[in-house]
A and B are shown apart, each in its own frame.
Chain A
Amino acid sequence: MTKARRAAAWAVLGSVVLGHAVCFALDEEAWPFLLYPMFSRPPRAGEGSGVFVQGQDAEGRPFLFKAPHSWPLFRSRLAARLATLAKSPDAEARLDEAFVELAALYERNRSRHAGPRLTQLRIVSCRWSTAPEALHEPWPDACRVLREYAVPAVAP
């Protein structure tokens, strides 16, 4: 094995370690160098919280978006992005834009779900208890509407 090859091998292995070490020191991820913090942070104030998309059918019944409705964006990914938009300086305009796109995505995913025709979309901020006794209670415990959008009726 030549010296040059040996040096190249050290450079490759060193990059793997250094990339992760720098991210660890800065407590910041730079994909693909990640810190793997799954299940490491306690839920804040002993409760869970999140931002969700809520649809409403023609009878006025609300339902939370599930993965097939917004495929391939599953609930937590969508929640994270919506939470970012809700905190942005032009939150209202950006959430309105998201409504239009989410209504289109819901219809585009018709092959994956048999959801009702949407009449309204809401972005809601929800909270729920993480106490063990709440395990079998309906979820989430309480939701607050952040923004609403009336979905335009589409001709059949």
Chain B
Amino acid sequence: MTLLARVEAQLFAPSSARALGGFRFLSVGGLFLLYALYAPLSGHPDVADRRAWADLPAILYEPLWAFRWLGVGVPSSSWVAPLWWVWLLSLFTGAVGLWTRLSLVTAAAAGFVLVQLPHNFGQVTHTDAHVVLLLAVLACARCGDGLSVDAALRARKGAPEPAPSGDYTWPVWGARLVLVCVLFLAGLAKLRHAGLSHLTTDMTQRLLVNTLRYFPGVMTGPGAFIASSDGWSRLVMGGVIVVELVYPLALVSRRARPFVALSGVVMLVLIDRFFALRFAQLILAHVAWLPFVERSKGDEGEQPPAARS
């Protein structure tokens, strides 16, 4: 079997519509809860209610390529506020699977504008761009065929449950691919800009001390302890680099997958808690690795060409 055939067999192996519906419910529902409920309490402006980013001083606005290309002027509450409510509503209806396609297309389009809004003011931070890519993948998929209000309404009219299909598998792999891009590139960036200096010099400790002095009080006890020790700083950074660089293994090795995904979650949770970098969206995206969102046991149905041959 060629490499391409192997990849196709993985991407398009038949899964049930319910499995993809479960993934849609967890990931989009999680985003709804995060932005509607958690964000206002978090006190961090990057995950806060996007209406706070309207009517800010024009001199501080520095639009990124998309806003320049779309001709988006200084964000004004006249459109940010309605778009915010449309986004939350589309996340909710997308999660429960009501008008699923329309909801997810709306969520992806509105998210493209709202998620990047803060990044048009001076600095691009790296915690939430994957949200838009994930929503775009789901918007292109048949996410509403199972475990959704749409599916329940169709069932009431007597429509049979859709047969397992590759249509319900590739979107989960798309979400996994997005996560791999994020974490693997983070590992590559460290090697690209500093080689092995994180581990062979006191660079990591200096980076942490720099953060501690710049944002006094934001690191919790363990974060401050690690920053105060050169050895611990190197050890922790070594662990981070290893997790980031081996992360793609989760795509190709079924055995390694649970360990790699779990270490990714643990790493992000610890960085979020100890070093005050807000990774709630990335942690949430790890629902893509839950085994039941890929296929359901006993799924039968159309086979991918590679499997047929």
Contact = CB atoms under 8 A, between A and B. Distances in A.
Interface of A: 1, 5-6, 8-9, 12-13, 16-17, 20, 24, 27, 29-43, 46, 48, 50, 67, 71-82, 84-85, 94, 97-98, 101-102, 104-105, 128, 130-132, 134-135, 139-140
Interface residues of B, number: 73
B214 A1 contact: no
B213 interface: yes
Contacts of B88: none
B269 interface: no
A14 to B, nearest CB: 10
Contacts of A78: 60, 122
A17 B181 contact: yes
A144 to B, nearest CB: 17
Contacts of B185: 20, 24, 34-36
B121 interface: yes
B249 to A, nearest CB: 17
Contacts of B57: 98, 101-102, 104-105
B301 to A, nearest CB: 10
Given A12-B137, A48-B213, A135-B213, A42 B60 contact: no
Given A32-B129, A35-B185, 17 more contacts: A1-B165, A9-B12, A13-B137, A16-B133, A39-B207, A40-B194, A41-B193, A67-B45, A71-B45, A78-B60, A78-B122, A80-B123, A128-B214, A132-B205, A135-B209, A135-B212, A140-B213
Interface of B is mostly: helix
A72 B210 contact: no
Given A16-B137, A31-B66, A130-B210, A40 B189 contact: yes
Interface string B113-130: 001101101111110011
Contacts of A135: 209, 212-213, 227-228
14 contacts: A6-B166, A13-B11, A13-B177, A16-B178, A32-B129, A34-B124, A37-B189, A42-B193, A43-B206, A43-B207, A43-B210, A72-B118, A73-B56, A77-B125
A76 B44 CA distance: 13
Contacts of A82: 122
A48 B189 contact: no
Contacts of B197: 42
A1 B129 contact: no
Given A40-B192, A40-B193, A97 B126 contact: no
A134 B193 CA distance: 25
B71 interface: no
B140 A36 contact: no
